Amino acid sequence: MRVTENWYLLLGAVLFCVGAFGLLVRRNPLVMFMCVELMLNAVTLTFVAFSRALDDVGGQTVVFFVLVVAAAEVVVGLGIIVAIMRRRPGATADDIALLKG
Protein backbone atom coordinates (compact mmCIF):
# COMPACT_ATOMS: atom_id res chain seq x y z
CA MET A 1 0.00 0.00 0.00
CA ARG A 2 1.40 3.35 -1.04
CA VAL A 3 0.91 6.35 1.24
CA THR A 4 -0.17 9.28 -0.90
CA GLU A 5 -0.58 12.97 -0.10
CA ASN A 6 -4.25 12.38 0.59
CA TRP A 7 -3.38 10.30 3.64
CA TYR A 8 -1.25 13.12 5.01
CA LEU A 9 -4.02 15.63 4.35
CA LEU A 10 -6.52 13.39 6.10
CA LEU A 11 -4.16 12.96 9.06
CA GLY A 12 -3.66 16.73 9.22
CA ALA A 13 -7.42 17.29 9.20
CA VAL A 14 -7.96 14.73 11.96
CA LEU A 15 -5.19 16.22 14.11
CA PHE A 16 -6.58 19.71 13.60
CA CYS A 17 -10.09 18.59 14.57
CA VAL A 18 -8.80 16.84 17.70
CA GLY A 19 -6.89 19.98 18.67
CA ALA A 20 -9.87 22.25 18.01
CA PHE A 21 -12.17 19.97 19.98
CA GLY A 22 -9.75 19.86 22.90
CA LEU A 23 -9.33 23.63 22.82
CA LEU A 24 -13.07 24.15 22.98
CA VAL A 25 -13.84 21.51 25.60
CA ARG A 26 -10.96 21.59 28.09
CA ARG A 27 -10.54 24.36 30.70
CA ASN A 28 -6.99 23.56 31.87
CA PRO A 29 -4.63 26.17 30.35
CA LEU A 30 -1.82 23.68 29.89
CA VAL A 31 -4.04 21.26 27.98
CA MET A 32 -5.43 24.13 25.91
CA PHE A 33 -1.86 25.14 25.07
CA MET A 34 -1.06 21.60 23.94
CA CYS A 35 -4.18 21.60 21.78
CA VAL A 36 -3.00 24.78 20.05
CA GLU A 37 0.35 23.13 19.43
CA LEU A 38 -1.42 20.10 17.97
CA MET A 39 -3.36 22.37 15.63
CA LEU A 40 -0.14 24.10 14.55
CA ASN A 41 1.48 20.75 13.79
CA ALA A 42 -1.57 19.69 11.79
CA VAL A 43 -1.29 22.82 9.67
CA THR A 44 2.43 22.17 9.24
CA LEU A 45 1.75 18.63 8.05
CA THR A 46 -0.79 19.97 5.57
CA PHE A 47 1.70 22.51 4.23
CA VAL A 48 4.29 19.79 3.71
CA ALA A 49 1.75 17.54 1.98
CA PHE A 50 0.71 20.30 -0.39
CA SER A 51 4.33 21.25 -0.97
CA ARG A 52 5.11 17.71 -2.01
CA ALA A 53 1.98 17.36 -4.13
CA LEU A 54 2.59 20.61 -5.98
CA ASP A 55 6.38 20.10 -6.10
CA ASP A 56 6.88 23.57 -4.67
CA VAL A 57 9.34 24.62 -1.98
CA GLY A 58 7.12 27.48 -0.79
CA GLY A 59 5.16 25.24 1.55
CA GLN A 60 8.28 23.98 3.22
CA THR A 61 9.48 27.55 3.66
CA VAL A 62 6.24 28.42 5.41
CA VAL A 63 6.71 25.38 7.63
CA PHE A 64 10.10 26.72 8.69
CA PHE A 65 8.51 30.00 9.82
CA VAL A 66 5.65 28.18 11.55
CA LEU A 67 8.17 26.12 13.52
CA VAL A 68 10.04 29.27 14.56
CA VAL A 69 6.81 30.94 15.69
CA ALA A 70 5.76 27.77 17.53
CA ALA A 71 9.10 27.63 19.35
CA ALA A 72 8.75 31.25 20.44
CA GLU A 73 5.19 30.59 21.50
CA VAL A 74 6.27 27.63 23.60
CA VAL A 75 8.98 29.62 25.35
CA VAL A 76 6.74 32.55 26.30
CA GLY A 77 3.38 30.83 26.65
CA LEU A 78 4.57 27.80 28.54
CA GLY A 79 6.55 30.00 30.93
CA ILE A 80 3.47 32.07 31.72
CA ILE A 81 1.22 29.04 32.10
CA VAL A 82 3.67 27.17 34.36
CA ALA A 83 4.10 30.28 36.53
CA ILE A 84 0.31 30.57 36.89
CA MET A 85 -0.09 26.87 37.61
CA ARG A 86 2.54 27.05 40.36
CA ARG A 87 0.69 29.87 42.10
CA ARG A 88 -2.77 28.40 41.57
CA PRO A 89 -2.61 24.65 40.98
CA GLY A 90 -6.28 24.40 40.04
CA ALA A 91 -6.30 27.40 37.70
CA THR A 92 -8.63 27.39 34.72
CA ALA A 93 -8.83 29.48 31.57
CA ASP A 94 -11.13 31.88 33.40
CA ASP A 95 -8.40 32.60 35.95
CA ILE A 96 -5.98 33.54 33.20
CA ALA A 97 -8.49 36.09 31.94
CA LEU A 98 -8.04 37.90 35.26
CA LEU A 99 -4.37 38.68 34.60
CA LYS A 100 -3.53 42.34 34.90
CA GLY A 101 -0.76 43.96 32.92
Q: One digit per residue, pLDDT tens: the chain, 101 residues?
A: 888 889 999 999 999 999 999 999 998 888 999 999 999 999 999 999 999 999 888 888 989 998 998 899 889 988 988 888 888 888 888 877 777 66
Query: Please, which residues have CB within 8 angstroms of residue 69's CB and are 6 or more apart in sequence?
Result: none
- Whole-model pTM: value is 0.82
Q: Tell me the C-alpha distance between 52 and 7, whole Å.
A: 13
Task: Give me the half-sphere count of Cα atoms (radius 13 Å) on the Cβ side of residue 82.
Answer: 7
pLDDT of 73? 87
